[in-house]
Chains A and B, each alone.
Chain A
Amino acid sequence: MASQPGTAPAKAGEAESFYRHRAPVRLTHWINALCILFLLGSGLNIFNAHPRLYWGQYGANSDRAFFSIDAYNTPQGVRGITEIGHTDFDTTGVLGWSKTNGQYAARAWPDWLTIPSFQDLADARHWHFLFAWILALNGAFYVVWSLATRHLQRDVWPTRADIKSIPRSVLDHVLLRHPRGEAAKRYNVLQRLAYLGVILLIALMVLTGLTMSPGFDAFFPWLLDLFGGRQSARSIHFICASLIVLFIIVHLAEVVLAGPINEARSMLTGNYVVPQERVRDRTSCPAPSTAGIAAPPRDTMSCPEGAP
C-alpha cells in the first residue's frame, strides 16, 4: 500500500485511480463517526434530564432559560412546547411530548433519537463518557499524526489562492458543479474550511464538556472564565453539537451529490476514481438547462455549443 497519496498511472482510455486518503485518515474518520453517533444519542438522553439551557455561572428551574423543551397541560390536552428565546413552538409528537412504546410521555427528545432509547440519565452518562474518551484519544491521535505528516498544513489548511477562490467555490457548490481532473485531487476551499470547522467544533465539545465537570473545574478553573461559566459551557456544548449535526447533513449531502460509491470507496480503501476532465472549458461551464431536453449522463457531459 502506498504511504503517500498519489496517482496510479492510468492507461489511455482507463479511469484514473488516485490514492486519496491514507489509512490513519480513514481509520480515525470512521472511529470518529461512530463516537459522534453515540455521543449525540446519549447527549440528547442526558439533556432530557434537564431540558433547559442558560447563560452564566448558574442556572436552574427558577432562572431564565433561553432554550427549553417541556410538556404543558393545556385545554387542548398535553402539548410539547419548545421555547427559543421568547418564542414558543408547538412540537407535540416530537419534542416535549412524544410516544414511547406506544404511550405518550413527557420527554424532551423522543426515544428514536436517544441512546439508550429509554430515559435513563445514569446509563446515558455511561455511554457518553465511554465514547467521549474514545473520541478524545482518537482526535488527539489524528491531530498529532496530521501535524507530523503535514496533512493538516498541506491538505486542509487553505492556501492564499484558496481564500481568493471562495466566491467561485460557493458558486460551484450552489450550482452542484464538482471538480474534475487535477482539481478533484485536492480539497476545495469550502471543504478545507468545513473540515477545519468541524475539528474546531470537536475541540470545543471536549473543552465545554470538561468545563461541566466539577472535578476538572478545580484543576482548570480558567475554563469557566473562557466559556463564561458552567451553564454557558453547557449551552455552548449543545450549540456546537447542533452545528456538528449541520456539518454531518451537508457532508452526507455532498457525498451523495459527488458520487456516493466513489466517495465512500475512497474513505474505505483510499482509492478514488478521478472524474475525467470535460472536453472543453471545465470550470466556466454553466449548469445545463434541463428544460425540455433530457440531460446527458454527467460523465460524458460537455459544454453545449455557444456556452462561454
Chain B
Amino acid sequence: MTTAGKITRRVAIGAGFAGAAALVYSANSLTLSPSFGRVFRAVEDWTRLNQRALLAPGQLAREYSAADISPTFKANGTFNPGGDAYNRAVAENFANWRLRIDGMVTRPLSLSVAEIRKLPARTQITRHDCVEGWSAIGQWTGVPLSLLLKAAGLQVGARYAVFYCADNLDGEPSKGGEQSPGQYYESIGLVDALHPQTLIAYDLNGKPLEVAHGAPLRLRVERQLGYKHAKYVQHIEITDDLTKIAGGRGGYWEDRGYEWYAGI
C-alpha cells in the first residue's frame, strides 16, 4: 500500500470513529431534533412497507383458546373518562350512546349500542400487546368494522378511519369537543379497517366492557399495538387526510412521538 493510501485510510478510520463518537455524544439532542426525526420517520415507513409486503391484507393475528385467557386483563391509559356526559351515559347504561360514522361515506350512520349488538358479531380470543411491553389475552366480541363501513359505503379516495373517543388523557374530561388538546383519538388505514379481526367490540370475556376497558365500545385492531385500540369510541370519520386533525399525526400517542404504524 502506498503512503497516500495509508493516509487516506487513516483519515477514513479516524473520521468513522469521530462520527460514531459524535453520534453517541449527541444522542440526546438528536432525539429531540426535528430534522433527525425525519430519519426515524423514514425507518418507520420502511418497517411499515416491509410488514405490508409480508402480510396478506386478510392474514389473521393468532387466536388463542379459552385456557390461555389472562386471569386479569390489565387496563391502561384512561380508567374512567369522567365528566358529566360520560357519567350520565354510565348511569343510563349507555342507552343513549350513539356511534356516528361519517366523512367520506355515501350513507352516514348513527347507531345505538343496542342496534350494534343486533348486527352479525365476531368473537375472538386474541393477545393485546402494549407498547410498554406487557401482554394480556382476552376474548372480544363485537361487530366487524368492515360491516359498518360497507353499510355506510366508502367513497372513492377514502384512506383512513379516524376514531374519536370520549376520554381526555390530559385531565380535563371531555371539554371542548372531540379535537380539544388531550382528547384521545386514533386512526388506521383501510387495510386494517377492513381486516376480518378489526372489531367495534362491546364484550370482553363474555361480559359488557367495563369502564376501564372502554365501555361501551372500543376498537380492536389485532395486528397492531395497544394504543391503536381506541376506547370509548363515539365517532368514526372516514377521511383521506390526517394532517388536519389535532396534532396531525393520526392519533393521541402519534402526536406525542409514537409510530402511526404500530405493527412493531
Contact = CB atoms under 8 A, between A and B. Distances in A.
Contacts of B70: 58, 60, 63
A269 B9 CA distance: 8
Given A217-B61, A219-B51, A115 B68 contact: no
Contact of B54 (A1, A58, A60, A219): A219
A242 interface: no
B28 A117 contact: yes
A121 B32 CA distance: 13
Given A49-B131, A50-B133, A116-B28, A1 B61 contact: no
Interface in A51-76: 52, 57-63
Interface stretch (B40-48, B86-94, B201-209): B40-48
A127 interface: yes
Given A123-B257, A215-B264, A50 B134 contact: yes
Interface size class of A (residues with CB under 8 A): 35 or more
A214 B229 CA distance: 13
A173 interface: no
A60 B133 CA distance: 9
B222 A214 contact: yes
A49 B31 contact: no
Among A120, A126, A221, the one with the most B-chain Cβ atoms within 10 Å of its Cβ is A126
A141 interface: no
Interface string B131-173: 1111111000000000000000000000000000000000000
Given A214-B129, A218-B60, A231 B27 contact: no
B7 interface: no
A113 to B, nearest CB: 12
A234 interface: yes
Contacts of A231: 134-135
B79 interface: no
Interface in B64-80: 64, 68, 70-72, 74
Residue from the set B31, B55, B133, B263 with the largest chain A CB neighbour count within 10 Å: B133
Contacts of B225: 214
Contacts of B131: 49, 121, 125
Contacts of A216: 51, 54, 263-264
Q: Of residues A30, A37, A47, A130, which shows the largest number of chain B Cβ atoms within 10 Å of its Cβ?
A: A130
A62 B256 CA distance: 28
A58 to B, nearest CB: 5
A199 interface: no
Contacts of B83: none
A213 interface: yes
B43 A59 contact: no
Contacts of A122: 253, 256-259
Contacts of B224: 214-215
A20 interface: no
B127 A58 contact: yes
B98 interface: no
B62 interface: yes
B186 to A, nearest CB: 15
A214 B134 contact: no
B248 interface: no
A127 B59 contact: no
B27 A230 contact: no
Contacts of A125: 131, 258-259
Given A38-B27, A52-B134, A60-B130, 18 more contacts: A1-B1, A30-B20, A34-B23, A47-B133, A58-B70, A58-B135, A62-B74, A115-B27, A123-B257, A127-B27, A127-B31, A129-B44, A129-B264, A133-B43, A213-B263, A214-B127, A215-B223, A215-B263
13 contacts: A49-B131, A50-B130, A57-B68, A57-B135, A58-B68, A120-B257, A126-B43, A127-B27, A130-B40, A218-B60, A219-B55, A224-B62, A231-B134
